[in-house]
Amino acid sequence: MRRFTFATYNSLSDSIAFQNLKSDKVVLDELAKSGVVNFNYCSMDSISYLVLDMEEDFNLDRSIKVFNDLALKYSQLGFFTEILNGNYQLLDRIYKMEQTIEYAASSGQLIPYQKADYGRFILTLEIINDPVLAEEYIKVHGIGMAWPQITENMKSVGIHEMELYLMGYRAFLIMDTKPDFDWDIDGKVWGDLPKEKDWQAYVAKFQKTNPESKAAEKWKTMKLISMH
């Protein structure tokens, strides 16, 4: 499937529209028939974030057309078309676990279909407002730059997939896990695995967080509304 992510500031009223849409089975069925695999809408403070998964043969233009056409029939999708047509910023992906190919944001990020049972967490943090550091932050998350031990650590605690997107100096992390992933239990084990403290110290210079914090302590969980 193809993934598109969007973010904006000061648009939390959309959470009501997404909550209403989640309970509208007729429209959700129509979305599924039209190529929408899933959506996740998140909010925290003044930040709104949308993850939109479409069938593999969709790009952004085709996705916009689908929603524009559906909005003519279902007026409650009007807010969705506004998001895709520019009210939110389309984000570039700067990291994917074991990524080998880069895709343009407008083409959509190629993502495998989710496992039948999985946990999903969408988290956010702010990086330091420095363009040089931001550019370096992107580079250290590029293809082949992640430390192999860090990837193995994630797999060992039940993390199946992880992606990182950036809007200015705001980072968004999508993490798919085993269904029963527990931050208090698995997060603690994760933070104590080999090289994990070294990695957190390495990336701490980019982040507006306590340099001694574990990953589970740095990233803040966003409130999540899902199609499924």
Asked whether the whole model's pTM tops 0.85, one would answer: yes
Residue whose C-alpha is closest to residue 90's, from 130, 52, 117 = 52
Q: If you average pLDDT over every residue of the chain, what do you get? A: 92
Instruction: For residue 146, give the amino acid letter.
Output: A
Q: What is the pLDDT of residues 54-94, one digit of tens each?
A: 999 999 999 999 999 999 999 999 999 999 999 999 999 99
Contact 22, 227 (CB under 8 A): yes
pLDDT number for residue 179: 95
Strand partners, 56: none
pLDDT number for residue 208: 84
- CA dist., res. 148 & res. 143, Å (int): 12
Reduced to 3 states, what is the DSSP secondary structure of residue 45? coil
User: Where does residue 31 rank: exposed (0-12), middle (13-18), buried (19+ CB within 10 A)?
Assistant: buried
